[in-house]
Amino acid sequence: MKSFTIEEVAQHNKPNDLWIIVDGKVFDLTDFVSEHPGGKKVLVKIAGKDATKKFKQFHNDAIMQRVGLPMQIGVIGDADGRARL
């Protein structure tokens, strides 16, 4: 699994280039943002940031397994590639 820094994820903060972090995992939601049942606006607002708290507020683990994980592109980690969860 590829590892990214928080600073790298923060670059992807636009509607057409939208990454978020949940539980130390990095998700590319670019293709999902228009289909998100909770709306585009909330995702654009939190683009490039850690959305763990918000995600847990509105979704259960089954949604993460079924809808979230297929969009995972990596984890937050150190420069040496070790995961930092």
CB of 8 to ligand HEM, least distance (A): 17
44 forms part of the interface with ligand HEM (CB under 6 A):
no
> Which of 2-10, 11-19, 62-70, 76-84 is the region at the interface with ligand HEM (rule: CB under 6 A)?
62-70
27 forms part of the interface with ligand HEM (CB under 6 A):
yes
Cα 24 to the center of its chain, rounded Å: 9
Residue closer to ligand HEM, measured from CB, 3 or 72: 72
Q: CB burial class (10 A; 0-12, 13-18, 19+) of residue 40? A: middle
